[in-house]
């Protein structure tokens, strides 16, 4: 018999990147008594990962729980970036409603549409929280209309259009239902959650049914499966069966050895949990997202949508440069393979495949950011390896026609720079489908562009818009191949010999392009040390010193002025590398190099490739 648990609410917080989801969770945690009055708590406490804190983005969904008026509210903070959309799709299956956070200045953005459409596909009730109402230029009343228009565009029902609106400043910890009277606490939002998000329903007397929606990993206990109990109860010591909706043959007997519920930011050991609770189980090997834990008497899998396929791949390979093994702790192919396959424990949008070479692996993900975050995590852990240029994953249709992934690209840019953006994206096979005006003299451009066309564009975009442009992309669909794209018009400056770069050598090299290195940098033959001023590769001897016979004074050496080099970030380096180059990644350095270091061998390979 179906019953309702009025003492529990399960809610996800969804939004476009940087609209304030994590800060909103901070406010709810602080005002629910999770922290002691004198406890020092950092901002964005849910972003526990160092890379999340530095970049100001959420990469992995996080679970927390707070109590309000005797009701336990399980809150899931989800990523806002399109590259981590796979996380959002799964999490929504675990909750009974969602809080859609929208910036009071920016209004609905591309990812707002994506996450809202996913919530509506599951018929989840939505609370709209218009955040940052104290931001300069905030326009909450217009944003209400824009959200309602978006809901209508997405085919919302009358009930969904009648969703409650809450106005908040998550940073200040206030919310209100009436723009005329500013709030003093988060109480209006808490009340709206209790009143608008339905309590979970289930049959307490039925067999256990729990869908695993997300996986955590811990060195001590291994895989931790997190999900909502749909029916029945689950308890420590219980014998269960694992089944999977997409794998009908799967039937694995397991025993529940550890069971946790969420309290604030902690997992708390419990002996038993009932339907409607979000819990974590550990001690089950090979537990996967989409698995259902059931009672042996009635093993029925809960339907689960397949995870979106990756659209971009990169080659990860063992570093074999002349400087290999000096800075990394983990350098062998076994180290690299183990680490990449371990990432699959928690990242379901990632694919790792072995290649013909034991030293190289094909890693596929949802976008450049998705893969660059993995690279950054690995280098911080002490791994040393090399990666190739990102490549899109092509498909063929039933007639054998080549298809490629297409992105919807939304750009807000000052009107003065819109011409440069349109010109560059047109060269990259982008098609302008809409042009309008945003706020404060900004133009809003909407393009449809092949994913290939966006590889390496971000740096150029920031230069063309003087750092003022905002670009957001979201995967649209696979469409017929749009034709070849010229990625890079400039060649590379290549080191001619091994040694240490000196001021005299760099001074002569800088006339030929932009340098990436400083005096004292160790280089080797075939290493890329800058960007050439013309469209072909240029060899430079940056280790060259003055001849001893030179009679000029040593003071003239000090007069050599070097232009400050362009020190590339990880993303910039990935954007820069060409198809015949690799990025050498170590815990301390990023070096770009040619795949074939020897100049003569490289020329031969080029001739034979052109002959084909």
**pLDDT tops 90 at residue 352:** yes
Would you call 140 helix, strand, or coil by DSSP? Answer: helix
Q: In the numeric block, which tokens belong to residue 396? A: 């063929």
Residue 266 neighbours by CB under 8 Å, 6+ apart: none
Residue 542 neighbours by CB under 8 Å, 6+ apart: 495, 496, 501, 502, 505, 506, 509, 517, 523, 529
Buried b (16+ CB within 10 A) or exposed e, 130-151: bbbbebeebbbeebbeebeebb
Count other Cβ atoms within 10 Å, centred on residue 579. 10
Average pLDDT for 513-531: 93
Q: In CATH, which of 1.10.260.40, 3.40.50.10490, 3.30.930.10, 3.40.50.300 is domain 3-200?
A: 3.40.50.300
Query: Could you give the angle at the alpha carbon of 315 between the alpha carbons of 313 and 320, nearest 5°?
Result: 165
Q: In the numeric block, which tokens belong to residue 114? A: 């994506």
E strands of 430-568, at which residues?
431-437, 442-450, 470-480, 492-495, 499-500, 513-515, 522-523, 527-532, 538-540
C-alpha dist (Å) from residue 568 to 74, 106, 135, 575:
42, 30, 33, 10
Residue 605 backbone dihedrals phi, psi, to 5 degrees: -60, -40
CATH number 3.40.50.300 given to 395-480: no
pLDDT of residue 319: 94
Would you call 175 helix, strand, or coil by DSSP? Answer: strand
- What are the residue boundaries of the structural domains of the chain, listed by start? 3-200, 203-294, 395-480, 492-577
Q: Would 3-200 and 395-480 be classified into the same CATH topology?
A: no
**pLDDT tops 50 at residue 58:** no
Percent of the chain with pLDDT over 90: 22
Residue 502 neighbours by CB under 8 Å, 6+ apart: 519, 542, 543, 544, 545
CATH class (in words) of the domain with range 203-294:
mainly beta
C-alpha dist (Å) from residue 241 to 244, 279, 294, 454:
10, 17, 5, 45
Confidence of residue 439 (pLDDT cuts 50, 70, 90): low
pLDDT in tens, 475-514: 888 999 988 887 777 889 999 889 999 988 899 888 899 9
Any idea which architecture 492-577 has in CATH?
Beta Barrel (2.40)
**pLDDT tops 80 at residue 182:** no
Count other Cβ atoms within 10 Å, centred on residue 335. 18
pLDDT in tens, 326-349: 998 999 999 999 999 988 877 777
CA distance 14 to 32: 20
């Amino acid at each position: 018999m179906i019953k309702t648990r009025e003492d529990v609410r399960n809610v996800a917080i969804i939004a476009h990147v940087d609209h304030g989801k994590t800060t909103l969770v901070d406010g709810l945690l602080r005002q629910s008594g999770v922290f002691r009055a004198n406890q020092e708590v950092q901002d964005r406490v849910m972003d526990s990962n160092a890379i999340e804190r530095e970049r100001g983005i959420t990469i992995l969904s996080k679970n927390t729980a707070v109590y309000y008026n005797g009701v336990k509210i399980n809150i899931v903070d989800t990523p806002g970036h399109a590259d981590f959309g796979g996380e959002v799709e799964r999490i929504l299956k675990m909750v009974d409603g969602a809080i859609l956070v929208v910036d009071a200045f920016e209004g609905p953005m591309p990812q707002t549409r994506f996450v809202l459409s996913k919530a509506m596909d599951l018929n989840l009730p939505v609370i709209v929280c218009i955040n940052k109402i104290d931001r300069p230029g905030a326009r909450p009343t217009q944003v209400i209309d824009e959200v309602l228009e978006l809901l209508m565009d997405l085919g919302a029902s009358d009930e969904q259009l009648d969703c409650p609106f809450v106005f908040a400043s998550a940073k200040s910890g206030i919310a209100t239902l009436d723009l005329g009277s500013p709030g003093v606490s988060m109480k209006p939002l808490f009340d709206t959650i209790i009143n608008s998000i339905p309590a979970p329903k289930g049959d307490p007397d039925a067999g256990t049914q729990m869908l695993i929606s997300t996986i955590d990993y811990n060195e001590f206990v291994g895989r931790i499966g997190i999900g909502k109990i749909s029916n029945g109860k689950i308890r420590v010591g219980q014998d269960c069966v694992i089944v999977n909706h997409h794998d009908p043959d799967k039937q694995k007997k397991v025993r529940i050895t550890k069971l946790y519920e969420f309290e604030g930011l902690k997992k708390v050991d419990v002996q038993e949990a009932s339907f409607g609770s979000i819990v974590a189980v550990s001690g089950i090997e090979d537990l996967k997202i989409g698995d259902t834990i059931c009672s042996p008497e009635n093993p029925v899998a809960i339907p689960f949508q397949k995870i979106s396929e990756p659209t971009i791949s990169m080659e990860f390979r063992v570093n074999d440069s002349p400087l290999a093994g000096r800075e990394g702790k983990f350098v062998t192919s076994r180290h690299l393979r183990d680490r990449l396959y371990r990432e699959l424990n928690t990242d379901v949008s990632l694919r790792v495949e072995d290649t013909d070479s034991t030293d190289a692996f094909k890693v596929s993900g949802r976008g450049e950011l998705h893969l660059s975050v993995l690279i950054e995590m690995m280098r911080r852990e002490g791994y040393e390896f090399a990666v190739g240029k990102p490549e899109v994953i092509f498909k063929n249709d039933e007639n054998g026609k080549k298809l490629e992934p297409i992105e919807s690209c939304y750009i807000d840019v000052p009107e003065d720079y819109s011409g440069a953006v349109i010109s560059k994206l047109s060269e990259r096979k982008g098609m302008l489908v809409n042009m309008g005006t945003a706020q404060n003299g900004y133009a809003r451009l909407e393009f449809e562009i092949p994913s290939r066309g966006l590889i390496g564009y971000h740096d150029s975009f920031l230069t063309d818009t003087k750092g003022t442009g905002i670009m957001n992309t979201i995967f649209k669909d696979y469409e017929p191949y749009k034709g070849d794209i010229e990625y890079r018009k400039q060649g590379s400056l290549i080191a001619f010999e091994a040694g240490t770069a000196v001021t005299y050598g760099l001074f002569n090299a800088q006339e030929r392009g932009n340098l990436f290195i400083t005096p004292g940098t160790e280089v080797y033959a075939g290493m890329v040390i800058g960007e050439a001023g013309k469209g072909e590769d240029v060899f430079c001897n940056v280790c060259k010193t003055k001849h001893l016979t030179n009679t000029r004074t040593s003071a003239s050496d000090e007069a050599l002025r070097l232009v400050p080099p362009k020190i590339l970030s990880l993303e910039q380096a990935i954007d820069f590398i060409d198809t015949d180059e690799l990025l050498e990644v170590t815990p301390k350095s990023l070096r770009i190099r040619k795949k074939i270091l020897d100049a003569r061998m490289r020329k031969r390979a080029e001739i034979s490739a052109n002959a084909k």
